[in-house]
Structure 1
Amino acid sequence: MWAGSGCFRPRERCVRVTGTGEATAAAVEAAWGRVRHNLRLSAGQRLFDRWLKPMVLLSDSDADMVRLGLPSAFMTNWVKSHYADRLLFEFRACLPEIRTVSVETVSTLEPARVLTGESIAPAVPVPGATLLADSPAPAPAAEPVPAQPIGAPGRSQFDPRFTFDRFVAHDSNRVARNAAKLLAEPGVPRFSPLYLHSGTGQGKTHLMHAIGHAFLAANPQATAIYMPAERFMFEFVSAVRARDTHSFKARLRAVDLLMIDDLQFVAGKDATQEECFHTVNAFMDAGKRLVIACDRSPHLLDGVESRLVSRLGAGLVADIKPPALELRHAILARRLAENAAVPVPADVLDLLASRIHGSVRELEGAFNRVVAYAQLIGQPVTMDFAIQTLGEMLQGPKKRITIDDIQRAVSSHFELKQLDLISARRAVAIARPRQIAMYLAKRLTTRSLPEIGRKFGNRDHSTVIHAVKRIESLRGLDGEIDGAVRQLMRQLEGA
């Protein structure tokens, strides 16, 4: 199914420093060139260009810690979340002396702090270094691959790991997988649009990339674009500001296959929804292929125009359910076969499959982490090792809490009607519980401020911000309010 970003592949050979016991600046810089090269191969060009290519090696790295810089906190958090273990693994494969890899936000990336070794090509041996035993001959320097915009209609935008062959099918995802394969077949499409929906990490993006690979393989002269809804919105707004919306519309509508991911992010964006509606209409009228992915079914989209919802539901709607135990075992078996160099006992696989059941991405991430740590410290994978390595991940996912759950709990606690929380009434007996409910919605759900405001009687996001700040302040001053918040949080989280 979904191929996690930490999936390990055969790496180009690295160098190891001998004699001093410390990693010199020259050796770290040479290793950085090799690490970048390996990351590009394993992550794929699109993901590498977007998240990893901007990363630079900072010159004030010391003997046992490598410091990497990124230009924004958002990128830093993403790389830490998805690639912290992989970066350490790659550096230690070249320089065992490295103990820590720190990823930091350096907003200006001052030239004095940044080393100049930006080449992605394989690093050359450095003085005082010996090659790993039984390593193949050095690969020739790779030709630079130009970065390609996310919205460009080329083949390189599709991740090479996300194919139909690597998607593990089961009853929970078979309809979505079969529909995706049908849409990718040559000839007149049997349906369009294809609307895929599921929780995060279940395989929607994997299927979209697989469609792109299969469609372009069967139709070499065809064009396809994959873009997240956030990118659609950004490019559309940029075109509006540049007074060049014609070029934006023409570029999208000229392709044979268009795929838009994470559609939930257009909620509340009226102008973007308008353009999205016309784009969907254009593809349906032309009988061309359109794929939409979202975290919920069309009729559950809050803040999205009804006419767009109607259009999205006019094609084939296919959901992907959370993976059953049998599927989780099958996914781990497939990944184990791809990483045969590190034996993982059956009882450890059983542990992962039974404890991590909310997301395929989390399941594969846990497997990759166990394998990586075993390679890093040279220990065999055992049950105790897996438990120690994964820690809190084995507690399983937390209960998913909705705003409706919060409103029911708060109204019951304060003996109100649920309608009171979304009404315009401003009496303190209602306004304070409403603020508590908004505070809990911000703390316990992933909904945005505008989404929360809409669920409380179409209130503005600034009202939600005020409520959150007010309750945070009152919790430190009023023991009764703090106690009520704590009790509600325990009740909602099932503690």
Structure 2
Amino acid sequence: MADRDRKGAPDAGAAAPTEAMWTALAQGLRRDIGVRAFDHWLKPVRFGNFCEDTGTLTLFAQTSFSANWVADRFLDRLTLAWRSVSPDVTAVRIIGAPQRAELPVAKLPAAPAANQGTPAANQGEAMSGATTTPLSDTGLFAFAAPAPTAPATLPNLDPRLVFDNFVSGRGNILALNAARRMAAVERPMFNPLYLQSGTGQGKTHLLHSIAHGLLAVNPAANIILMSAEKFMLEFVTAVRGNDMPAFKARLRAVDLLMIDDLQFIIGKGSTQEELLHTIDEILGAGKRLVVAADRAPHLLGGIDPRLLSRLQGGLVAEIDAPDLALREAILRHKCATHHEAHVPEEVIAFLATSFTRNIRELEGALNKLLAYASLADTAISLDLARDRLAETARGARTRISIDDIQRAVCAHYKLDRMEMASKRRAREVARPRQIAMYLAKTLTPRSYPEIGRKFGGRDHSTVIHAIKTIESLRVADPAIDSDIARIRRALEV
């Protein structure tokens, strides 16, 4: 060490950097930058080696992209931290893990008790005792679930979203049973599983439940649950960072891949192509795949025919809007978890008939009522519910979606809803479709391109033409005007 040509000599008693020092430093960094940022970016970093001749300490990240990201944002902090414990360190560099490198694991203690109760804190605690396993034949390492294999690839699973808390009814029993099969030890009879429903009907609950269920029977399962937006973001980042091998390896090494809001990928050619190859790899290896979207596969405008065939090759399970019986059952189940509050049956009936569009809205109304009663120290009654939720209930009745409009138009004209996205131009189909487009623009805030996508991926000019046509017909044809008025009444607008 004495022959190094550097300014200043190190302290005589200073120790060379070691893996144990990194473990201690990592815990301090976790407190400084926060659990979420640490667990996503610095947790996977491993102690590499130290060059005594140059004073350079090397740390390993899982991928080149991760190394560049950490270096850009944390290199100065890491350098100062290392110098504080080992003055021999003059520089710190972070590189992607070399192929087949057996990197040591820095195990961290659990997060402080004060952080418990938040998803990020709970995720950090779960990761503290995680082990690592190689990703196929690459040199990258993935934490066994529930810890993330790489930044943002695994969610902070919500402990409340489990099968036991999912209230079933006629409209969702198929999806629930299919999700349970997907989470069982035995290989599912159908693969992939495609969950279809509108917003707030339970897709996300089932996705989290599948992950919890599979981890219960196979704690070592490698699970990725990500949104379609996250898939696109990571794909584009990997392309720009010349890191596609790591991106592919991470996704294709899973035991279960789940992608939510698939509709946001459709139309992106290169992203669809990569998703197609990923699906082929996963299904070919006998692994499990679950996707969720707000519409059926054939209604995904602009979808690659090859991708469509893969998605339709398993089971498409639709979750219908909750009927009155299911809405009441959900409210009773929710009330049972609030032992300190008594909710009369007449209040449950009021809520179930006032909030009919989705479960999230229904539960939100109940939570608002429970919170007011608790803070005001008053009993829950029908009068209180009507008084505190009147404006919210009016908003719930007037907020409609394009799906609602399509259902109402098809019911009025006795058409199969698939005709809304079909290419048929017969008048008995084309006219109701134009009316639905007109109502979509009149009754919702959606743009012309958004409306076109909901009608089989039609161009915005087609939507504009439909709207102008119906506006003219309402003036010239009383029957058309009467039909539209009846449909609007059916929508309670």
Alignment-derived partner of residue 115 in structure 2:
142
Alignment-derived partner of residue 28 in structure 1:
none
Q: Are 1:244 and 2:243 an aligned pair? A: yes
Q: Secondary structure at the match of 2:226?
A: strand
Partner Cα distance (2:292, 2:191) in 1: 13
Letter of the 2:214 counterpart = F
Alignment-derived partner of residue 488 in structure 2:
493
Alignment-derived partner of residue 181 in structure 1:
180
1:322–1:359 contact (8 Å) kept in structure 2: yes
What CA deviation, in whole Å up to 9, does each residue of 1:102-145 have, x standing for no partner?
Answer: xxxxxxxxxxxxxxxxxxxxxxxxxxxxxxxxxxxxx9533784
Alignment-derived partner of residue 11 in structure 1:
none
Letter of the 2:115 counterpart = A
Partner Cα distance (2:280, 2:296) in 1: 19
Call closer, same or farther: CA 1:150–1:263 in 2, change over 3 Å. Answer: farther
Partner Cα distance (1:240, 1:449) in 2: 32
Partner Cα distance (1:264, 1:355) in 2: 29
Partner Cα distance (1:491, 1:234) in 2: 44
Partner Cα distance (2:317, 2:436) in 1: 33
Alignment-derived partner of residue 128 in structure 1:
none
Structure whose CA Rg is larger: 2
Call closer, same or farther: CA 1:457–1:174 in 2, change over 3 Å. Answer: closer
Alignment-derived partner of residue 378 in structure 1:
377
Q: Secondary structure at the match of 1:401?
A: helix
2:153–2:226 contact (8 Å) kept in structure 1: no
Alignment-derived partner of residue 328 in structure 1:
327
Call closer, same or farther: CA 1:452–1:271 in 2, change over 3 Å. Answer: farther
Call closer, same or farther: CA 1:183–1:446 in 2, change over 3 Å. Answer: farther
1:403–1:455 contact (8 Å) kept in structure 2: no
What CA deviation, in whole Å up to 9, does each residue of 1:175-234 have, x standing for no partner?
Answer: 211111111111433321011111221111101100001101211111101111111112
How far did residue 363 of structure 1 move? 1.3
Partner Cα distance (1:455, 1:176) in 2: 23
Alignment-derived partner of residue 207 in structure 2:
208
Alignment-derived partner of residue 95 in structure 1:
none
Q: List runs of 5+ in structure 1 lacking aligned partners.
A: 1-39, 50-138, 410-416, 424-433
Letter of the 2:390 counterpart = G
Partner Cα distance (2:445, 2:149) in 1: 25
Partner Cα distance (2:385, 2:340) in 1: 17
Q: Secondary structure at the match of 1:240?
A: helix
Call closer, same or farther: CA 1:271–1:490 in 2, change over 3 Å. Answer: farther
Runs of 4+ in 1 over 4 A off after TM superposition: 146-156, 403-406, 417-420, 434-440, 445-449, 453-461, 463-468, 486-492
2:405–2:439 contact (8 Å) kept in structure 1: no
Call closer, same or farther: CA 1:171–1:405 in 2, change over 3 Å. Answer: closer
Correspondences of 1:276-295 after superposition (within 5 Å): 276-295=275-294
1:374–1:381 contact (8 Å) kept in structure 2: yes
What CA deviation, in whole Å up to 9, does each residue of 1:386-416 have, x standing for no partner?
Answer: 011111443454452249959x99xxxxxxx
Identity across the alignment (%): 47
Letter of the 1:340 counterpart = H
Alignment-derived partner of residue 163 in structure 1:
162
1:439–1:467 contact (8 Å) kept in structure 2: no
- Provide TM-score, normalisation by structure 2: 0.58
Partner Cα distance (1:238, 1:487) in 2: 53
1:402–1:445 contact (8 Å) kept in structure 2: no
How far did residue 307 of structure 1 move? 1.8
Letter of the 1:163 counterpart = V
Q: Secondary structure at the match of 2:115?
A: coil
1:239–1:245 contact (8 Å) kept in structure 2: yes
Partner Cα distance (2:455, 2:382) in 1: 47
Partner Cα distance (2:251, 2:292) in 1: 17
How far did residue 441 of structure 1 move? 3.7
Alignment-derived partner of residue 262 in structure 1:
261
Letter of the 1:493 counterpart = R
Letter of the 2:388 counterpart = T
How far did residue 45 of structure 1 move? 8.1
How far did residue 488 of structure 1 move? 9.8
What CA deviation, in whole Å up to 9, does each residue of 1:322-359 have, x standing for no partner?
Answer: 22222222211111110111211111011112232221
2:174–2:317 contact (8 Å) kept in structure 1: yes
2:262–2:292 contact (8 Å) kept in structure 1: yes
Partner Cα distance (2:249, 2:440) in 1: 40
Q: Secondary structure at the match of 1:226?
A: strand
Call closer, same or farther: CA 1:151–1:368 in 2, change over 3 Å. Answer: farther
Correspondences of 1:109-148 after superposition (within 5 Å): 141-142=114-115, 145=121
Q: List runs of 5+ in structure 2 lacking aligned partners.
A: 1-33, 41-111, 125-146, 414-423
How far did residue 320 of structure 1 move? 1.4
- Provide TM-score, normalisation by structure 1: 0.57
Partner Cα distance (2:187, 2:434) in 1: 53
Letter of the 1:213 counterpart = H
Partner Cα distance (1:182, 1:467) in 2: 46
What CA deviation, in whole Å up to 9, does each residue of 1:456-476 have, x standing for no partner?
Answer: 897766x699999x99xxx9x
Partner Cα distance (2:349, 2:452) in 1: 43
What CA deviation, in whole Å up to 9, does each residue of 1:10-68 have, x standing for no partner?
Answer: xxxxxxxxxxxxxxxxxxxxxxxxxxxxxx9xxx989xx9xxxxxxxxxxxxxxxxxxx
2:452–2:463 contact (8 Å) kept in structure 1: no
Letter of the 1:246 counterpart = P
Partner Cα distance (1:383, 1:187) in 2: 48
